[in-house]
A and B are shown apart, each in its own frame.
Chain A
Amino acid sequence: QSVLTQPPSASGTPGQRVTISCSGSSSNIGSNIVNWYQQLPGTAPKVLIYTNSQRPSGVPDRFSGSKSGTSASLAISGLQSEDEADYYCAAWDDSLNGWVFGGGTKLTVL
């Protein structure tokens, strides 16, 4: 069982907006920044959102992140077929002294 809680799956049709939630606690999301990773099938994870809401260069502005209290969320607007992937949230945990991840959300574009 993961320390951060994400829904195992999400879906949407092309053009729709979907959100993926990530719930934690005061020792991780509540006191540290949240990063989001995208893992396409058969590849290594890559950073999608860092420091709660920042996008690395090259990541489309269709992707956005937010954080409030001990929860964070990833929003994807204008859904495209190439967005089909697994998405993970992550934060440093001050009690565990290590990184904690969400269990991952598999996004399906219908």
Chain B
Amino acid sequence: EVRLSESGGGLVQPGGSLRLSCAASGFTFSSRAMAWVRQAPGKGLEWVSSTRAGGGDTYYADSVKGRFTISRDNSKNTLFLHMDSLRVEDTAVYYCAKGGSYVGRILEFWGRGTQVTVSS
């Protein structure tokens, strides 16, 4: 059974930092692209970042480029999102998503999400 479990969310002041983690199980983590997608309160889905299976290539939405860093540890089946210079508009539920064999194929399974609130 595929499982994705996000953690690391919380309340942070504008300008602060957070690191989200996503522990994966039930599939061969190292052979799948992975992604982070967020959903602001009452809003739709917004893609944040993706990484290829090997972790070498990373992709970012313009809204987070230069502030967020996606990474993965294939030896620990874990995906990360390091978020710096957080803004109020980054407030959202952050979902970890399992991708396909290539980065643009599918986001085929999603975790339950972790809440990030940026507020003073």
Q: Do A and B come from one complex?
A: yes
Other-chain residue from A45, A46, A88, A98 in contact with B59 (beta carbon distance below 8 A): A98
Total A residues in contact with B, Cβ cutoff 8 Å: 27
Q: Determine the main DSSP class of B at the interface with A.
A: strand
8 A Cβ contacts from B74-117 to A: 95, 103-113
B6 to chain A, nearest CB (A): 10
Whether A33 sits at the interface, judged by CB under 8 Å, is: yes
Q: Kindly supply a per-residue 1/0 record for chain A positions 35-75, scoring 1 wherever the CB is within 8 Å of any chain B CB and 0 otherwise.
A: 10101000111110011000010000000000000000000
Total B residues in contact with A, Cβ cutoff 8 Å: 23
Contact segment of A14-22, A77-85, A101-109: A101-109
Interface residues of B (CB under 8 A from A): 35, 37, 44-47, 50, 59-62, 95, 103-113
> Can you offer 25 A-B residue contacts whose CB atoms are under 8 A?
A32-B104, A37-B45, A39-B45, A44-B95, A44-B110, A44-B112, A44-B113, A45-B45, A50-B108, A56-B108, A86-B44, A88-B45, A90-B107, A92-B105, A96-B62, A97-B59, A98-B50, A99-B35, A99-B37, A99-B50, A100-B47, A101-B46, A101-B47, A102-B44, A104-B44
**Nearest 8 CB-CB pairings of A with B:** A92-B104, A99-B47, A104-B44, A44-B110, A101-B45, A103-B44, A97-B59, A98-B59
